[in-house]
Amino acid sequence: MPEPSKKYRLVFMGTPEFSVPTLKALYSDSRFEICAVYTQPDRPVGRGMQVQQSPVKRTALEMGLPVFQPEKLTLPFGVDQVLAINHLRELAPDFLVVVAYGQILRKEVIDCPRFGCVNIHSSLLPRWRGAAPIQWAILAGDQKTGVSTMKIVQKLDAGDVLLQAETEISKTDTAQSVHDRLAKMGSELIVPTLLGLAEGSLQAQVQDEAKVTVAIKLSRELEALDVNSKSASALDRQVRALNPWPGTSVYLDVNGKAERLKIKRASSHEGLSIEPGVLSEKMGMLLLGTPSGALEVQVCQLDGKKETDAAGFINGLKGRGLSLPLKTRSTHEENK
């Protein structure tokens, strides 16, 4: 049998891996025709700074979809942006679907599609608007998070909410595990969202501004684990939220010099009492003392060394003629 004719034309805008499941869901649904995919320009990535295509571009090319990579659709508004918006208007899309595209869209772009611009955001709006909602939900100790489909307006993540889906945040969830779950959940929401808008059966809900929280962009300053004032459970959330970037670490005082210990995986033990700011071995575990409980260091890495488990770290110390306990220290102290 011939393939059913496509019904709704759409332009897809996205860049990272989080966007890919939604692109695939729309591509596989015969009720939609993806007439263009917009993604960020190829960028240098990693230590070698090799130029790489975005995950969305790679996926779109595999599907045989036309890909466009304007440098900016935002201010300053020059010739390239005018050409890009004229191109969008010529496509005459019914929808513009945006999933982690990486740019705030101008009104001229938002006004292009017939039924509007729809965004998938990785939080239960209005909680955690902004750049890093998954990480901040874990850092704050939220028991649940989710995805929201919403209408795009010029104010960041402030549009009316269309559909939402929830998921619990477990005590072992990391930013990566939540990311992967929400990417799939978002892809499952997009088709009912678009059909509901086109058919007029979906009622948007205005966000309650009194309940807004903001997930600011992650920074290097978040890397330091404050073992002298934060609880073990708070530090555990920090490790789970910030791996792989910016990561989490402490500085150890080793013969009067500061050595950075990156902590890649950990868990909290509320019932254990270890002197705050001291790294020691107890009951076969590598433990960091805090004012409330102890943080078990399960996977770690000293600067210039390979990643290792707790036993490997302890053996490495012995190989250097060192032993536990070791005290942590501030990076602001002068090496003696």
User: What's the CATH number where 169 sits?
Assistant: 3.40.50.170
Predicted model pTM: 0.93
Domain that holds residue 246: 220-329
Q: How far apart are CA 96 and CA 98, in angstroms?
A: 6
Q: Say yes or no to pLDDT of 104 above 90.
A: no
Q: Are residues 121 and 77 in the same domain?
A: yes
For residues 204 and 80, the model is more confident at 204
Question: What six digits make up the tokens of 102?
Answer: 């990486």
In the listed set 215, 234, 258, which residue is the last one of a domain according to the structure?
215
Taking alpha carbons only, the member of 95, 120, 124, 113 closest to residue 187 is 120
Hey, CA dihedral for 318, 320, 323, 325, is it positive or negative?
Answer: negative
Picking from 9-18, 107-116, 157-166, which range would have the lowest pLDDT averaged per residue?
107-116
Average of per-residue pLDDT values in the chain:
93
Domain boundary residue among 169, 185, 215?
215
Predicted confidence band of residue 1 (pLDDT cuts 50, 70, 90) = very low
> Residue 334: inside a domain, yes or no?
no
Task: Examine the pLDDT at 332 and tell me if it is beyond 70.
Answer: no
Query: Does any domain span residue 3?
Result: no
On the question of pLDDT at 73 being above 80, the answer is: no
Residue 237: pLDDT band with limits 50, 70, 90:
very high
Helix, strand, or coil (residue 18): helix
Looking up residue 302, the CATH number of its domain turns out to be 3.10.25.10
- Amino acid, single-letter form, for residue 320: R
User: Do 32 and 112 fall within a single domain?
Assistant: yes
* The total number of residues written for the chain in this structure: 336
pLDDT band at 79; cut points 50, 70, 90: low
Say whether both 193 and 224 belong to one domain.
no
For residues 272 and 303, give the distance between their C-alpha atoms in angstroms, rounded to a whole number: 28
Residue 261 placed within a domain? yes
Residues 231 and 163 both lie in one domain = no
Residue 84 pLDDT greater than 80, yes or no = no
Of 4-18, 19-33, 109-123, the range with the lowest mean pLDDT is 4-18
What pLDDT score does 75 carry? 47
Is the separation of the CB atoms in 313 and 300 below 8 Å?
Answer: yes
Structural domain total, the chain: 2
**Domain match, 293 and 188 both:** no
